[in-house]
Amino acid sequence: MRSEASWQRQEQALKSAKVLAEFTNLDDASAAEDFIRKHRDFVPPLWWTGRAWKEGVGKYTPWMRERDLLRKAWSAGFPADTTLELATNNLFLAAHALASNTTTEMKTAPQKIWSYQRAVLFLHVNPTRARICEWCGRRFISETNARFCRFGGVVDVDGDETTCFWAHRKQYRKDNWSENSDSINKRRKREYRLEKKRSHRAKRKNIRQR
C-alpha cells in the first residue's frame, strides 16, 4: 500500500507532466510569454532569452528547438536516447554556470534539477500517459486511457465552445442517432410496451390482493 509521501510524489509528478504538455503545445512567442508568467521556474530563463538561431532563415530560439525535440519524444513514447538528450541538454549546464559565482562553485555545487527534467523522466517511465488528442492534435496527460483531451476552446457540432472530450461525445451521439435511429426507436417502443405490460400486471395483482 502506498504511503502518503508516495501519493504526494505521484501527484507532483503528474502536475509537472501536465505543465510539460502545455510546453509542447506552445506555438508562438505570445503563448510562450503566457507560459512563462504561469510557470516561471519550470525551465531555466536561458530557454527564453538565448540568442535566436538561424537568423537568416527565421527566428528559432532555444525553447523552440526543445519543444520540437520534445514533440518527437512524445510521439515515440519517450525512448531512452531522446529522453537522455532532453534531460541533459547544454542549457541546463549553462544555467548552472550562470548561477555559480566561481569556477570552483560551478564544478562542485550540485546542479539544480528542474521540474522539466523530472517530468521528462516521469514520462520515460510512464510513456502511456503522454497522449495526443484525436480531436484537436494537442498533447495532454491522461490518468486513464483517454483518447481526447479536456482542454477548452474547441467548437462542437452545434457551434458551442467546449472541450474535445465533450465535442467528441456529442458528435458520437449525433452520428449514432443518424445511423441507428430506426433501430433505437424500435427498441424504445418494445421496452415501453414491456414496461406497460408489467405495470398493468402489477396493478391487477394489487387489486386481487385487496
Burial profile 28-55: b = 16 or more Cβ within 10 angstroms, e = fewer: eeeebeebbeebeebbbebbbeeeeeee
Mean local confidence (pLDDT), 31-41: 94
Mean local confidence (pLDDT), 164-193: 59
Q: Rounded CA gap, 120 and 72, in Å?
A: 13
pLDDT number for residue 148: 86
Contacts of 119 (CB under 8 A, 6+ apart): 13, 16, 17, 19, 20
The tens digit of pLDDT for each residue in 1-27 reads 567 777 888 899 899 999 999 999 999
Mean local confidence (pLDDT), 182-201: 59
Length of the chain: 210
Q: Find, among 125, 127, 27, the residue nearest to 68 by Cα.
A: 27
Q: Rounded CA gap, 83 and 109, in Å?
A: 24
DSSP state of 113: P
> In this structure, are strands 139-141 and 154-155 parallel, antiparallel, or unpaired?
unpaired
E strands, 120-165, are 130-132, 139-141, 154-155, 161-162
pLDDT number for residue 106: 86
* Residue 176 pLDDT > 60: no
Task: Give the chain's mean pLDDT.
Answer: 80
Q: Which of 76-80, 113-117, 132-136, 196-200 has the lowest mean pLDDT?
A: 196-200
Q: Rounded CA gap, 133 and 167, in Å?
A: 12
The tens digit of pLDDT for each residue in 72-90 reads 999 999 999 999 999 998 8
- For the chain, first and last CA: distance in Å? 57
* Residue 200 pLDDT > 70: no
| Torsions phi, psi for 20 (to 5 deg) | -60, -40
CA angle 140, 141, 147 (to 5 degrees): 70
Between these two residues, 86 and 208, which has the higher pLDDT value?
A: 86
pLDDT number for residue 128: 94
Between these two residues, 21 and 202, which has the higher pLDDT value?
A: 21
**140: which strand partners?**
131
